[in-house]
Amino acid sequence: MNPEISVIIPAYNTEAYIKRAVDSILDQTFGDFEIIVVDDASTDNTVQVLTEINDPRLKIFRQPQNGGAGAARNRALQEATGHWVAVLDSDDWYAPERLERLVALAKERRADMVADDLYIIEDGESHPRTTMIKYCGSSLSEVTEISPTEFVMSDIEGRKGLALGFSKPLFRRAFLVDNQITYKPHIKVSQDFWLDIDCLVRGAKFFLLPEPYYYYRSRDGALTTSTNKIERLTQECDAINQFLIDEAAYLDNDEGLTKALRLKLRETCKIRDYYAVVEPLKQGMFFKALWGSLQRPLFYQKALLEIPKVVNRRVRATFLRTEVYKKFS
């Protein structure tokens, strides 16, 4: 018999974290699962750490060469046999009741996708600082169905929202297979967002549980922090543009979603153009910054909003230093 859940983990050079990730699955209150780890040609001891874990539910696969997290996840999806697919990054971990809670909710709501809130914990710290919902300044008290438009609007660059693109849903595997949905390996960041929206435009029922059971580790060297900011934003602009082209047949029937995606595109490009000018300025490359501002007119829209904020921060900082000087002089 197939397991109820396949937990897929892409791994690359995470020997210091991978055991905790796997152990958090083995310690689940729900035991009918398989763990599929795809090592993306690690150069450290990640595979050795994995082979020392003695549990028949753990299956280890090795990529012949490094192809990125998206390719590793797709390999894991190919190997998965469970009715549901859960995703875990190799430096994160689950609370013990996560799988039991999510699969019960998925069956209760007849969902294709269910996600929970995330704990955000800094690398090296023992306790989470906050959860994603709180960090985004939102509040949610009950299970909520998320529409495609709501999903996109939750994740607009520079705007507050639930940031559902960071969520790690449990997926009904048959839905992924029937709709031939996989990760996009050429997109190096926001891969979860694009898999989720691919599901949603094809009619997936998505429910959000406002309880945190996933521990998201924020660390230097992770893809989301190590990727060049301008490069990441450029990739995002390209991905939105391509999605609008590729999914035109679905979007023609959903004006709200189309508007949300175009807003996401505009705001992402605006922030990209802003940093494309500001970053050279910080490095003293004034001619490059000037030339960039002439080539990127969206810079001025963002600058008009940011300059008052910068001035306000500088004034407050100066005032604070002055008050401290008066107090102790």
Task: Say which CATH number the domain at 101 has.
Answer: 3.90.550.10
29 inside domain: yes
| Domain match, 245 and 176 both | no
329 inside domain: no
CA distance 14 to 10: 10
Domain boundary among 178, 196, 226: 226
Q: Quick one: which H or E segment has residue 37? A: strand 33-39
Nearest to 221 by CA among 314, 89, 323: 89
Band (pLDDT 50/70/90 cuts) for residue 326 is: very low
CA distance 168 to 171: 9
| Domain match, 80 and 185 both | yes
Nearest to 10 by CA among 50, 41, 40: 40
- Provide the H-helix boundaries in the chain: 18-26, 46-51, 69-79, 98-109, 132-135, 148-153, 173-178, 191-201, 223-226, 229-246, 248-251, 255-282, 286-295, 298-328
Structure token pair of residue 153 = 């609007």
User: What DSSP designation does 192 have?
Assistant: H
Give strand pairing partners of 215: 93, 119
| Domain match, 149 and 213 both | yes
Its domain, for residue 274, covers: 229-310
| Domain match, 214 and 233 both | no
Q: What is the pLDDT of residue 318?
A: 56
| Domain match, 256 and 222 both | no
pTM of the model: 0.84
Structure token pair of residue 80 = 């998965």
What is the per-residue pLDDT across 17-30, written as a single tens digit (0 to 9) for each?
999 999 999 999 99
215 inside domain: yes
| Domain match, 242 and 221 both | no
Average pLDDT over residues 197-209: 97
Sequence letter at residue 147: S
